[in-house]
Structure 1
Amino acid sequence: MLRQYELVERVLEYDPDADAAMLNRAYVYTVQKHGTQTRASGDPYFSHPVEVAGLMTDLKLDQETIATALLHDTVEDTLATIEDIETNFGPDVARLVDGVTKLSKIEQMPENERAAENLRKFLLAMSEDIRVLLVKLGDRLHNMRTLHFIKKPEKRLRIARETMDIYAPLAERVGMYEYMREMQMLAFAQLEPEAFRTIGNRLDQIRAEDGGQVDAIALDMKHALSEMGVTTEVSGREKHPFSIWKKMAERHVSFDQVTDIMAFRIITEDVADCYRALGVLHTTWQFLPGKFKDYISTPKTNGYRSLHTSLLYGKSMRVEVQIRTREMHRTNEFGLAAHWAYKQGDKPDGQVGWLRDLIEIVDTSHDAEELFEHTRLAIYQDRIFAFTPKGALFQLPKGSTPVDFAFAVHTDLGAQTVGAKINGRHIPLRTQINNGDVVEIIKGKNSEPQLSWLGFVVTGKARAAIRRSVRLKEYAEVAEIGRKLYDGIATRVPAKVGKKALREALKRLEMEEEDDLYYAIGAAKIEDRDVMEALVPGSTAELDDEQNWQRGGKALSIRGLTAGVGFQLGECCHPVPGDRIVGLRKPGEGVEVHAIDCLQLASGIDADWLDLSWGKRSRGAIGRLRVTLYDRPGTLAEMAGIFAQNHVNVKTLDQTQLDHPFTTYEVDLEVQDLPHLTRILSALRASDSVAQAERM
């Protein structure tokens, strides 16, 4: 563990003007606050923030970031508060510490929710300052280095999976490849221990048998380049086990069939030498077609720049080669962190393009599961390049379609997409884009995202925007149903209901907007009785027990049952007063009431059959309909109007099928009797908005 003076001296080496007193205070503060707390390894807890601060000095980050690393766990794990941090270390450090601090409630959430909420927190904090992520990545890297001390295997696996799914990809997206590789290696060892050991043993075996072959190849390359006057540094290594395992999985091959397990890096003085070195390699050794990538002229979104090629060395040995300048190498290994080195002076904008997309996903995701899915799509996929007709370049995941491209250009363009051209030819929207394609989006003024697009889009941004649009459309349609049903409810209270009464009702129901109430009514999330009571308090006090079905009381009576015997209506046939009914009684259970033509009765149920009939009380029976509407604006509202005109209460409304140009719903209605249900069916069938309506 770094001593106090050693840490401060590290910072002063690259930033002589740093506030040493503030750094000393931060070191002492974290030691005092964490006190006697220990880690799973048995080490004092404060050793962790000190080591994270040491990782930040390796990146030559500014004094606020070093202080944040020292203090990042004090608010979560000690009695310190953000206000204390601000008082002692200033608002900038307090803001960064607050961004890194893990919320305690996250630890009690289910796995996916916890990971997603953690991710949500960091993405929002990153939108203000990328240093939050840099400290968090250092925190996670050190935790992974000490993961083996945790005794519970399920906890180790959870942390390793979260690291592999979230933090390693985030490290890649900000260009911190050193962090990414080590995180992947440590997580892989936990998640696939047998594969990790097997590949590691094979690499040790190859290393022992090759007689220094890696060094020999590197020396050959250096000599070839030197003879052509190109001054370089050449180094070689075997790929790490996770990289090899990933290739084995992608190609469905064994270890022995992975031929390119050696990788070499060539460092040059300038960009011109990069291309000269590439020419020398390609004329000295055979290069493999399709394996060349120029990330110097077209950098990755995280700023990564390098030339990549694969060569055939000897008769059959494939080797990968990366060629870059010294400046590129530092940026490639440490990404955005390299820009924060104090000597750079100016700080980059943390809101890089991909990060803006992630923030938009945070804003549009419906729940934690959806956020997790969309964000993983956004941060962890191989990329392709495509152009607009005017030459603007966009990077997208492999498998992207014109719809993904449109949303990448702008959310509004994605929403208005009606067609596309690739390289001047009209193509279906589900067509996959290839590297270098020119994509032209055709838009319509009144178009909107289609639910069917979710079947082929691959980017998190597109999926989040489509789902949000579909939800808003559904919300508006259900609210329109609720508006019509509300008009019927308002006529049943003993007073005229105006705007003032509605405003007061919203307060009583703890809702903000009228549409919130209409949606709750249309989606059957609130009972008619509760709406009436909110509009006119006391208006339901005199309702007799015929209407108490809404509070769980029995509103139906059945003749033919022994006094005190409970019953329930069959979910399979939903009998209503007017249907001929029978009862089925099984030993030790109540009576189940079925319509006489229920298909369940033909299945030979082992039960006593009872001859039943309806009693005098006949409110509260549920009739279930299947209604197929034409998929066009206003059809849902038309159906809601029919329900309101027939004074029926909608209990549930579920969309069960979308098959353009039709949408099918299952609707549960509280009806008086069979004639009431029949009138509703007749009205539906007479409507131009309804393609089909039937009782289930």
Structure 2
Amino acid sequence: MLLYPTKRVISVNPPKFGKGEEQDFHSFLNFCGNFTSNLNVPLLYKAFQFNTKANKDLQRKSGEPFYTHPLEVACFLVENVIYNDELIASALLHDVLGQNNLYSINDIESEFGKEIAKIVESVYRITNLERQEIANIEYFRRLLIALTTDVRIIFIKIADRYIDMKTISYLSPETQRKFAEDTFQVYIPLAHRLGLYNIKSELEDMAFRVLDRDNYNRIVRKLKMTKHERDEYLRKFSAPIIEMLQNFPLLKENDIYFEVHGRVKHIYSIYNKTLLRGKPVEELYDLIGIRIILDTEDETICEKVVNEIKKIYPFIPETYKDYIRNPKPNGYKSIHCAFVGEGNQKVEVQVRTFKMHLIAEKGVAAHYRYKSGQISIDSIFEDEKIEKWIQKIRDLLSQGQEVPDSMLFEGFDYEIFSDEIYVLTPKQEMVILPKDSTVLDFAYYIHTELGHRCAGVKVNGKTCSIFTKLNNGDIVEIIQGSNLEPEFHWLDKVVTRKAKNAINEFFTQKAQEYFKSGKQFFDKIINEQSLSQQRVSIINSIIRHLKYTNPREFFIELGKSQELKEAIEFFVIFLKENNFKFNEKSLKNNPLLKKLEEFIEKKAHFNPEGYTIIMSECCLPAKGDEVEAFLLGKTIIVHRKDCPKVKLYYVDLGAAKVNFDWEKINQENFEIGIKFHSPSFLFVFNLLAQALSSRNDVAIKSWQKQEVSPNRFYWIFYFDAKDVSFINVIRNLIEVNDYDVKFERIGRKSAYQ
């Protein structure tokens, strides 16, 4: 519902067809004209004539003329995907074959060419398969054969299914159920993969209404407000926000156009959230809301608009989600938050730019529309992932009947969603995560607190580690503990932004709490001893003698350690009694400084026994490297000294730095990653052959070739080694033999960055 401006310049609502063939075609052309001025009218009219002749005197179950269905499919594609002559002509022809036996595929090819004929034939074959009772493996095999010839086939079938679902009530209950099941199994995942997010949500609602009418109706009843009441509420809620935006200097000075839309959460999405969050419908905060869309490239203005709304309505802090700073894996960007409106009603507010909105609503095709206006659908084929998926499946199918069922099914299940996995809750609710996600990523996806307190897990009924990587179809049950907290090394295990951000935020807040506690304790001692004037010099003395980098590090450790608190208290008293004179001999001679001496000794000769030692995957340190080691809880994280994450661990998260001695580590072998740059693998092979031929303490675990540019490659090797001494051998061989090879140390998570 558009709340502001009250009138749009152009209406793009699809026309109502069934008013006569000529009038319907002109309405269709007018609709397409809202999206492009480059219509191939002769081609479209010829396709429309084929459609009307093939479907002459035929009616749909709803009583509408059959020729109107292809028009509706074509309009859907123009509005939700992109205008392209071949795509839209194929949509108009997609129901021609087989109708009244009037036209054959040869007729289509002779009149429209091979490209359009191939698309039409594939759509026809898929439609025939949908009408058959076929076991799942066979169903997906035949579906794949048809789907993998052209991406436009997928677009037409999604559009065809969407229009069919809109009139599903005219079909028999059995047919309705099959349509809805197929929609969930095939077309909703396809719509999501191709970025048709709004259509995906609408298909979910329509299919859910058929498959679980009771729960669908239950949620509809729970929504309480009628459409009229809801619209009126959103108009009143948005009125002061619209007034603010109209007078907001930042928008006025930069002449930034804006729109405000009312929105209601989709039924199936509400159903999922009641299950995943374990809350009744009434407690969800995002059932109704408004969306503010700004015509600007400056993404920072979105947050400034949110800050202005906070001056109008009570803000609910825990609902704030910044997907602009932390986009979703599929590229979605927006700010989400909620406010309390009249009658204590929670209302979600989303703020985004027009570019963000277009991509959120239209997906893949929107990238191209936004960049350069209306262009050829060929640009969509430039999506590398789609090209690779199509080629891989085509290669599988070209192997003929010998290809096993599982391989074809895997091709469908994996390749099209190669950057995502689909896993299930114990209640069979689907959760979509990036590839390589762990159980911990799943737990944090469900809820931050569930991630923090993840004690164990069952995957497909079997007990597993919380770091287990998940696969498509896994059923995941999280076991929650009561007094658990995240551990530092989890950061190296999780892959999703949400999990990493949640863990980082936990330790950042913890560090801030320790800093505040330590500073308060120190200031209390200073005040008790009446030493406010000497506060800075005392801090500098402590930092110097205890070898801290800065006051923040000292205060954080002071907040954590009761032992250090006692030592510092005695130290301050000693300084006061001795007129602030202090030297190393004082440690040996004064009982007041005994605890400080013990603390310094313990810090200098840290004993790692009893601690979990983690060699960080981001840099893969090994024996012989210069390292920085950090202690948090009972975990020691070791990084190479030149690792960029050192600042993250050392400063931002408040981890204590400890002295680390390789000789005190029992670990015998270490994983070492090296990236070699060279125009020829022969150079790399000769180099490694010479370096490793006489060594028994180094073994190659794995290697992989990557092309950087034409005639330039790099090779990633992972070794098992006793220490890093063999790296010096490699370096010397390169210098002596003048090999055209360069190399650098890498970690597991930095190899392809």
Cα distance in structure 2, aligned partners of 1:248 and 1:46: 42
1:184 maps to a residue whose letter is: E
Per-residue deviation, 1:434: 2.5
Cα distance in structure 1, aligned partners of 2:281 and 2:306: 29
2:92 maps to a residue whose letter is: L
Cα distance in structure 1, aligned partners of 2:407 and 2:494: 28
Q: What is the DSSP-based 3-state SS (H/G/I as helix, E as strand, rest coil) of the residue aligned with 1:366?
A: helix
Decide whether the 8 Å contact of 1:188 with 1:196 is kept in 2: yes
Decide whether the 8 Å contact of 1:76 with 1:102 is kept in 2: no
Decide whether the 8 Å contact of 2:94 with 2:120 is kept in 1: yes
Decide whether the 8 Å contact of 2:141 with 2:405 is kept in 1: no
Within 5 A, what are the aligned runs for 1:9-48?
9-12=30-33, 14-48=35-69
Query: Structure 1 residues 435 and 96, CA, compared in 2 at 3 Å: closer, same or farther?
Result: farther
Per-residue deviation, 1:292: 3.4
1:255 maps to a residue whose letter is: V
State the partner residue of 1:348.
379
Within 5 A, what are the aligned runs for 1:487-566?
none
Decide whether the 8 Å contact of 1:150 with 1:156 is kept in 2: yes
Cα distance in structure 2, aligned partners of 1:44 and 1:350: 34
Per-residue deviation, 1:88: 0.9
State the partner residue of 1:96.
119
Within 5 A, what are the aligned runs for 1:25-424?
25-59=46-80, 60-75=82-97, 77=99, 79=101, 80-103=103-126, 104-105=128-129, 107-110=131-134, 112-113=136-137, 116-117=140-141, 119-121=143-145, 124-125=148-149, 128-129=150-151, 131-151=152-172, 153-203=173-223, 205=225, 212-229=232-249, 231=251, 232-270=258-296, 271-282=299-310, 285=313, 287-289=315-317, 291-313=319-341, 316-339=344-367, 343-345=373-375, 347-350=378-381, 352=383, 355=386, 363=396, 366=406, 378=421, 382=431
2:293 maps to a residue whose letter is: I
1:267 maps to a residue whose letter is: I
Decide whether the 8 Å contact of 1:384 with 1:435 is kept in 2: no
* Residues 332-363 of structure 1: per-residue CA shift (max 9 Å, x gap): 22222335659433553436466468655895
**Worse-superposed segment, 184-193 or 250-259:** 250-259
Q: What is the DSSP-based 3-state SS (H/G/I as helix, E as strand, rest coil) of the residue aligned with 1:61?
A: coil
Cα distance in structure 1, aligned partners of 2:491 and 2:268: 41
Decide whether the 8 Å contact of 2:421 with 2:432 is kept in 1: no
Decide whether the 8 Å contact of 2:219 with 2:267 is kept in 1: yes
Q: Where does the alignment leave 5 or more consecutive residues of structure 1 unmatched?
A: 389-395, 408-421, 443-696
* Residues 362-381 of structure 1: per-residue CA shift (max 9 Å, x gap): 95971676667657874686
Decide whether the 8 Å contact of 1:295 with 1:304 is kept in 2: yes
Within 5 A, what are the aligned runs for 1:568-579?
none
1:215 maps to a residue whose letter is: R
State the partner residue of 1:7.
28
Provide TM-score, normalisation by structure 2: 0.48
Decide whether the 8 Å contact of 1:307 with 1:322 is kept in 2: yes
Aligned residues: 418
Cα distance in structure 2, aligned partners of 1:429 and 1:225: 40
Match of 2:499 among 415, 421, 434: 434
Per-residue deviation, 1:137: 1.5
Q: What is the DSSP-based 3-state SS (H/G/I as helix, E as strand, rest coil) of the residue aligned with 2:290?
A: strand
Per-residue deviation, 1:298: 4.8
Query: Structure 1 residues 122 and 282, CA, compared in 2 at 3 Å: closer, same or farther?
Result: farther
Per-residue deviation, 1:165: 3.1
**What is the RMSD of the two structures over their aligned residues, measured on CA atoms?**
4.4
Query: Structure 1 residues 54 and 367, CA, compared in 2 at 3 Å: closer, same or farther?
Result: same
Q: What is the DSSP-based 3-state SS (H/G/I as helix, E as strand, rest coil) of the residue aligned with 2:381?
A: coil
Query: Structure 1 residues 296 and 217, CA, compared in 2 at 3 Å: closer, same or farther?
Result: same
* Residues 394-428 of structure 1: per-residue CA shift (max 9 Å, x gap): xx988998775999xxxxxxxxxxxxxx9867988
Per-residue deviation, 1:52: 0.8
**Worse-superposed segment, 57-66 or 78-87:** 78-87
Decide whether the 8 Å contact of 1:309 with 1:322 is kept in 2: yes
Decide whether the 8 Å contact of 1:112 with 1:369 is kept in 2: no
Decide whether the 8 Å contact of 2:234 with 2:262 is kept in 1: yes
1:234 maps to a residue whose letter is: V
Cα distance in structure 2, aligned partners of 1:115 and 1:229: 59
Per-residue deviation, 1:141: 0.7
Query: Structure 1 residues 344 and 301, CA, compared in 2 at 3 Å: closer, same or farther?
Result: farther
Per-residue deviation, 1:223: 3.2
* Residues 183-236 of structure 1: per-residue CA shift (max 9 Å, x gap): 122212211222222332343546676793222221233234445435432232
Q: What is the DSSP-based 3-state SS (H/G/I as helix, E as strand, rest coil) of the residue aligned with 1:320?
A: strand
Q: What is the DSSP-based 3-state SS (H/G/I as helix, E as strand, rest coil) of the residue aligned with 1:322?
A: strand
2:288 maps to a residue whose letter is: M
Query: Structure 1 residues 132 and 58, CA, compared in 2 at 3 Å: closer, same or farther?
Result: same
Per-residue deviation, 1:90: 1.9
Cα distance in structure 1, aligned partners of 2:185 and 2:244: 41
Cα distance in structure 1, aligned partners of 2:491 and 2:359: 41
Query: Structure 1 residues 156 and 115, CA, compared in 2 at 3 Å: closer, same or farther?
Result: farther
Q: Where does the alignment leave 5 or more consecutive residues of structure 2 unmatched?
A: 1-16, 19-23, 252-257, 397-403, 424-429, 438-443, 452-458, 460-465, 473-486, 504-615, 621-753
**Worse-superposed segment, 328-337 or 64-73:** 328-337
Decide whether the 8 Å contact of 1:15 with 1:343 is kept in 2: no
**Worse-superposed segment, 175-184 or 313-322:** 313-322
